[in-house]
Structure 1
């Protein structure tokens, strides 16, 4: 085998290792989210929607459904559960001339409960990141953003059919 063939083979193996590591990460984060949700009595999909509201601010139910990749009818049930359990509020949208329009807002006063549960993971991540230089952290963050964009694109392709 030529050195060029060996180099190509080695690159394919490294790329496969990255993909496997991402699959492992996906599984571990799903397990963490499930455990997290169990602690605060949130279904996975409910937690995902609450996280989107917490990070992106108030959204209309339609915008939240689109962002979460859910059908509006499914979103209604999720929002009903989140509101019943005190995680969100539905408010009239002051920027919309249609008086029936609402926005959904996460109740920030409940964030302390969420932060407490994620404290262990945040501590682990702080310790992990301490081992990298600023340049390496920028590279890792860029890779993760680009991976997220690739996942979004693949998701959109599957949704389109």
Structure 2
């Protein structure tokens, strides 16, 4: 059984991250779910719309509209898949740097917290967070690794 204080801390963190994401989305002229799509593309490298649908849980029809808008606004670039010319791959553009700038205050604040930890505790925290991400991802049917 998960310790309720840990569960509550994770819930509080999720809420605060969602609030920050909503504010950043607004500042960038995006919808909040757009940030999920952009982050998957940027973090996981070029990927197909099918991969994005599986990772984000967005219905393909919804994702098609999101991707068209993000491409039109130059947040993503669509290229032919090198192994399958019929398929497209999406990659982030240099415009993603705008989001990095908007996230900088949060990035700096979290770095200040983790920098206070001894290296062993930072390593433990990283492993725990990675394990939590994996557990959450695997807890949903159809999750993609």
What TM-score does the superposition give when structure 1 sets the normalisation length? Answer: 0.83
Match of 1:152 among 109, 114, 137: 137
- Measure how far apart 1:78 and its partner are: 1.0
- Measure how far apart 1:77 and its partner are: 1.0
> Secondary structure of 2:79's match?
strand
Higher relative contact order (CA closer than 8 Å, sequence separation 6+): 2
- For the 8 Å contact 2:75–2:96, the answer to whether it is kept is no
Residue of structure 1 equivalent to 2:102? 117
What is the 5 A alignment of 1:61-80? 61-80=49-68
Q: Does 1:105 align with 2:94?
A: no
What is the 5 A alignment of 1:8-157? 15-96=3-84, 99-107=85-93, 109-156=94-141
What TM-score does the superposition give when structure 2 sets the normalisation length? Answer: 0.91
Aligned-pair Cα RMSD in Å: 1.7
> Secondary structure of 1:155's match?
coil
> Secondary structure of 1:156's match?
coil
Deviations 1:101-144 (A, max 9, x none): 1111111x113211211110111012101210110011111111
> Which consecutive segments of 4 or more residues in structure 1 shift more than 4 A?
none
Whichever of the two has the greater Rg, that structure is 1
